[in-house]
Amino acid sequence: MDFELSPTQIERRAAVTAAVAKRLAAHETTTDPELVRLAWKNIAGSGLTGLCLPEEYGGSGLGALDTALALEAFGAACPDTGLVFGIAAHLLSCAVPVGEFGAAGARDMLAGMAAGDVIAGNAMTEDEAGSDVGRIRTTATRTEGGYVLDGEKSFVSNAPVADVFVTYAVTDPAAGFLGISAFAVPRDLDGITVGEPLPKMGLDGCLAARVRFEGCVVPDRYLLGAEGSGGAIFQHSMAWERGCLFAAYLGLMERQLAECVRHTTERRQFGRKIAGFQAVSHRVARMRLRLESARLLLYRACWLLDAGRTDVTAIAMAKTAVSEAAVANSLDAVQLFGSAGYVAGAGIDQQLRDCLPTTIFSGTTEIQLELIARETGL
């Protein structure tokens, strides 16, 4: 086993760090849709919106591990974790299935997605269908030359600024898992209503909203894969999202750990640096332990994806390890900074709020533990 990054990987990470520092030098987290789109435009030229997309469409053609390494560097360099999350979700849960399963009509959007000119939102979650995706109620009824979509998605990341929605709907209610189909739905089709941005606890830079489809006619060319393959397509996109998106949180934890080391070695209490107190140094040591352990699990899951082995257990363990570590480390960071960590504006409080949803999105921790338990033989 070789744990060293290649010179190319090291150079690419350095290039991402430099590009983010240059392109987002004046960026501040915002919930204004126009300013969010501007931030996308500013960062898109770095290639981050097309990391794993085919080169023929303007992407970089990277595998899962290289994509994760780039997103890790992005997360470390950009304090606006919501922006990082939105771009990663656009790439992994939307552009990946369009690139791998889209017909000509859908693939026509791919160059725009790779360039960041076409922003995508993943429309799966509904009021009654979160972890249990089999309970989605949005329907796609066959009509001449396409499908009629009816239903409402309750939480669509990027929705307020999205140009296309990767949408899942029931085409055959009697077929269960095989009765779900996937579509790349352009926003400008008639019958689509995007709600106001949802107020959220964190990830402010990634706007989210409800999306309603009412008699929305979607031409056949926007169907992803074959009719009834939506469930399998969603699982495939989730393997990429759980395997790669959470690398951005490795970057956040790396930046957070550096901030905690700097703070604890500079702040003095009782006549000495607080890093000299074992209660402090051990807390920092545990933060590093969680980060490094989660990093190894995530790299391994991505390596398996690149080897053509979609290992459900490896991906579930990586997703769980990163999300649990992100929350635990953020709580430790607040404790280490004390009142400065609790006061809004210092950045430590924002890190905690940005990390809390990691145990919910892309499949809750409880669902991941069920997958791990099942594969363990329980």
| Residue range 133-189, pLDDT digits in tens | 778 999 999 999 999 999 999 999 999 999 999 999 999 999 988 999 999 999 999
pLDDT grade, residue 62 (50/70/90)? very high
Query: Above pLDDT 70, what percent of the chain?
Result: 100
Per-residue tokens: 260: 């905690």
Cα dist from 15 to 20, 40, 105, whole Å:
9, 18, 33
pLDDT at 356: 97
For residue 337, pLDDT over 80 is answered with yes
Q: Spell out the residues 6+ positions from residue 186 whose beta carbon is closer than 8 angstroms to its own.
A: 109, 163, 164, 222
- Would you call 241 a catalytic residue per the annotation? yes
Q: How far apart are CA 188 and CA 195, in angstroms?
A: 15
pLDDT at 344: 85
For residue 363, pLDDT over 80 is answered with yes
- Mean pLDDT calculated for residue range 353-362: 95
Query: Above pLDDT 90, what percent of the chain?
Result: 91
The mean pLDDT value of the chain amounts to: 95
- Mean pLDDT calculated for residue range 14-21: 96
Angle CA(207)–CA(232)–CA(51) in degrees, nearest 5?
50
Q: How far apart are CA 345 and CA 229, in angstroms?
A: 46
Q: Spell out the residues 6+ positions from residue 240 whose beta carbon is closer than 8 angstroms to its own.
A: 52, 64, 92, 93, 96, 305
pLDDT at 190: 97
Point out the catalytic residue in the list 72, 241, 254, 259.
Answer: 241
Q: How far apart are CA 334 and CA 367, in angstroms?
A: 28
Query: Is 29 within 8 Å of 80 (Cβ atoms)?
Result: yes
pLDDT at 326: 98
pLDDT grade, residue 345 (50/70/90)? confident
pLDDT at 132: 77
For residue 46, pLDDT over 80 is answered with yes
HSE, side-chain direction, 13 A CA sphere, residue 261: 10
For residue 60, pLDDT over 80 is answered with yes
Per-residue tokens: 262: 């700097």
For residue 207, pLDDT over 80 is answered with yes
Q: Which of 296, 269, 295, 279 is nearest to 332 (CA)?
A: 279
> Integer distance in angstroms from the first to the last C-alpha of the chain?
30
Interval 299-329: pLDDT, tens:
999 999 999 988 999 999 999 999 999 999 9
Interval 91-140: pLDDT, tens:
999 999 999 999 877 788 999 999 999 999 999 999 988 777 778 999 99
- Least confident piece of the model among 31-40, 99-108, 142-151, 266-275: 99-108
Q: How far apart are CA 357 and CA 290, in angstroms?
A: 18
For residue 26, pLDDT over 90 is answered with no
pLDDT at 377: 92
